């Protein structure tokens, strides 16, 4: 049986490794990106077949204000990278206006939203982009889904261990794709989008 890391694509071939995947310890992680064992999926005969999923309309008014604050904060960052100060200032004002309600959610609420993105949103968008033959959008969605899955993995660790799972180390954010890495130093290259180490930023407590 062959297993593939859903984050970075690392292949675990039982025939070559000579150790059944199921017998690996629970704390075993991907040697390439550090994803937990649960992030590996078995490769089956029907893999690669397109699945058509109808996209559900997104209604911004249903999104928690805390999430909207984060989204607008990210838009602000993107505008500043493009030297669009006017746009950045507008998104900054929106994120600040929504920030007071940022404490309304819980890790479980966030995990539920992430699960919905993985199970419904990404398949629907991939199906739509495949029909339009938009390779750029498909690439962005592939990166986004991988990053979302690693976020889900981190949320699972947070629920099991609390903040102790990241104690005594650092949190690094890839500014190109959003990949999050827990470790003393950022990886030499992002396992998702392959940008170099200098594009990682260290995240400190309180940063959005």
- Rounded to the nearest integer, the mean pLDDT of the chain is 80
Confidence of residue 155 (pLDDT cuts 50, 70, 90): confident
pLDDT digits (tens, 9 = 90+) for 67-94: 677 778 878 877 887 788 998 899 889 8
**Whether 176 and 156 share a structural domain:** no
Q: Residue 21 falls within a domain, yes or no?
A: yes
pTM of the model: 0.65
**Whether 5 and 43 share a structural domain:** yes
Q: Residue 88 falls within a domain, yes or no?
A: yes
**Whether 126 and 144 share a structural domain:** yes
pLDDT at 47 over 60: no
Q: Residue 146 falls within a domain, yes or no?
A: yes
Backbone angles phi, psi at 151, to 5 degrees: -60, -40
Mean per-residue pLDDT for 24-39? Answer: 83
**Whether 110 and 157 share a structural domain:** yes
**Whether 97 and 112 share a structural domain:** no
Q: Residue 208 falls within a domain, yes or no?
A: no
Q: What's the CA gap between 53 and 127, in Å, rounded?
A: 6
Domain count within the chain: 4
Do 193 and 176 meet the contact criterion of CB atoms below 8 Å apart?
Answer: yes
Do 8 and 146 meet the contact criterion of CB atoms below 8 Å apart?
Answer: yes
Confidence of residue 197 (pLDDT cuts 50, 70, 90): very high
Q: Residue 138 falls within a domain, yes or no?
A: yes
Q: Residue 3 falls within a domain, yes or no?
A: yes
CATH number at residue 10: 2.20.28.10
Q: Residue 57 falls within a domain, yes or no?
A: no
**Whether 132 and 178 share a structural domain:** no
Mean per-residue pLDDT for 152-170? Answer: 83
Q: Return the closest-CA partner of residue 148 out of 174, 176, 180, 124.
A: 180
**Whether 132 and 92 share a structural domain:** no
Label each residue of the chain as H, E or C: CEEEECCCCCEEEHHHHCCCHHHCCCCCECCCCCCEHHHEEECCCCCCCCCCCCCCCCCHHHCCHHHHHHHHHHHHHHHHHCCCHHHHHHHHHHHHHHHHHHHHCCHHHHHHHHHHHHHHHHHHHHHHHHHHCCHHHHHHHHHHHHHHHHHHHHHHHHHHHHHHHHCCCEEEEECCCCCEEEECCCCCECCCCCCEHHHEEEECCCCC
Q: Residue 81 falls within a domain, yes or no?
A: yes
**Mutual angle of helices 122-132 and 135-161, in 10-degree steps:** 170
State the residue range of the domain holding 90: 65-104
**Whether 17 and 43 share a structural domain:** yes
């Amino acid at each position: 049986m062959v297993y593939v890391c859903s984050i970075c694509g690392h292949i675990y071939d039982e025939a070559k490794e000579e150790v059944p995947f199921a017998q690996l310890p629970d704390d075993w992680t991907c040697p390439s990106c550090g994803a937990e064992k649960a992030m590996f999926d078995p490769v089956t005969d029907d893999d690669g077949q397109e699945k058509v999923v109808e996209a559900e309309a997104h209604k911004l008014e249903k999104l928690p204000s805390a999430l909207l604050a984060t989204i607008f904060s990210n838009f602000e960052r993107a505008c500043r990278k493009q030297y669009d100060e006017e746009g950045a200032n507008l998104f900054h004002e929106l994120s600040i206006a929504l920030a007071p309600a940022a404490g309304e959610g819980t890790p479980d609420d966030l995990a539920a939203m992430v699960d919905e993105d993985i199970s419904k949103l990404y398949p629907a968008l991939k199906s739509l982009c495949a029909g339009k033959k938009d390779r750029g959008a498909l690439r962005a969605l592939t990166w986004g889904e991988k990053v979302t899955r690693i976020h889900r993995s981190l949320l699972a660790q947070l629920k099991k261990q609390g903040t102790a799972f990241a104690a005594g180390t650092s949190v690094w954010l890839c500014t190109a794709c959003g990949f999050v890495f827990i470790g003393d130093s950022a990886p030499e290259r992002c396992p998702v989008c392959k940008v170099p180490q200098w594009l990682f930023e260290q995240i400190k407590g309180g940063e959005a």
